[in-house]
Amino acid sequence: MTFAGSLAVLACTRILWNDNDLAVVSGRTMDWPESTEPILTILPRGLQRDGGLVAGHSIVAENPAKWTSKYGSLATTVYGIGTADGLNEKGLAGHMLYLRKTDFGPRDASKPGIHAGLWLQYLLDNAADVKECLALMDDVQIVTVEAHGREATVHLALEDAGGDSAILEFVDGKLVVHHGAQYQVMTNDPTYDEQLALLKQQDFSHPSSEMPLPGNVNATDRFQRAAYYRALLPKPQNERETIAGILAIARNVSVPFGAPYRDFGIYNTEYRTAINLTNLRYFFELTTSPNVIWVDLKKFSLAAGSPAMALDPDNLDLSGDVSAKFQPLEKAPF
């Protein structure tokens, strides 16, 4: 099983709005050549994890990481084997995006191993903020995984309710971290340091009506366009305006559903999310559905022993607050 093809360019984007004086909010697009089978899943505290298991099979033969979830979370799962996007009860959120240049390096069995599909979930389970996430990375090694014939060459964007941000990438086998509240936009290739250098060529964070704006759907153009529109967001008056602003940018950098971009290795946007980290609300928009739905994490019991709960968002009858629509699972995923 996998998350990303070796020749793919893909088109995921993450946007963070952490300086609006009302709430810390973030958003992302998920772009993929097929359905990732997203399921919105509530995961309570106290769940036993094995970082080497994929669908009951161990892919980290020696020294897999094992832990018990310290915090409850809401995850958008991918193929049922990991977490692509999510939020925990402390206001830590994260997003898994594709990066072709990812190289996790050779396996070092002296460190507990976690397959890439559980990388984000490991952090949501164990960290209350971005700084704690970074400290946790010293203790484990991320190991590649495959799903549906594609390898999980991914990087992570993290943010917390305090407005902190970090981009985590593995390049030439080494973890590269960009840590700071100023890292607000992220796409795919090239690596993040190269993206930042490209952004400096023309400062899209200080837009004007005369500034030419790139309009393609490749990662570089989307990065610049998202930075441009993010800088134009007006101060919001309420949560509704913050989420509308984030989703407006996410839609602007989306790849239209059904557009024939596959020959370029760029895939349609499957879904978009927006997260209010301050108030623990998670918004989800499937691109083949006309409805935006949201989940209030504070409405769930996250105590150890509470059931994991799930909701399939691919349902045209769903709209608005769907917190009451979740159903308990017999067994928590992964």
Which of 272, 279, 325 has its CA nearest to residue 84?
Answer: 272
Cβ neighbours around 237 below 10 Å, total: 9
Look up 12 and say whether it is catalytic: yes
Select which of 1, 11, 12, 322 is catalytic. 12
Contact 106, 172 (CB under 8 A): no
Between CA 268 and CA 257 the distance in angstroms is 5
Which of 152, 129, 128, 127 has its CA nearest to residue 142?
Answer: 152
Structure tokens, 124? 């949501």
Alpha carbon 36 to its chain centroid, in Å, reads 13
Between CA 147 and CA 315 the distance in angstroms is 24
At residue 317, the 3 state secondary structure works out as coil
Contact 122, 49 (CB under 8 A): yes
Residues classed as catalytic: 12
